[in-house]
Amino acid sequence: MNTIFTKKILEFCSNYNLPFLFHNNISSYWNKTYPKFIHEIEEVISEYPRAKVILAHCWISRWINIVWFIHIIDRLMTEYQNLYLDYS
């Protein structure tokens, strides 16, 4: 996820105090029970601590079934002060 384009957007968001909406699931439709993308979001929120990163839809959908999802979200929210959730 941490491509050159994404880095430029995150730098811009950090410099201008703008939110970065991460619209993805914690995993893929084909890998419904393993938190496949957790390392990517942690890389982003730790590398850009001034960026306000928002996980859209609480980073999940009805097709994903991660057993320890609530514990993962709780840990991330506790550990990273620049992480926010949208649960609409």
Question: Which pLDDT value is given to residue 10?
Answer: 93
29 phi, psi to nearest 5 deg: -60, -30
pTM: 0.80
Cα–chain center distance at 17: 17
Question: Which pLDDT value is given to residue 27?
Answer: 63
pLDDT at 71 over 80: yes
Question: Which pLDDT value is given to residue 57?
Answer: 76
Measure the CA–CA gap between 36 and 48, rounded to whole angstroms: 21
Q: pLDDT per residue over 15-35, tens digit each?
A: 999 999 887 766 666 666 656
Question: Which pLDDT value is given to residue 12?
Answer: 96
pLDDT at 53 over 80: yes
pLDDT at 65 over 60: yes
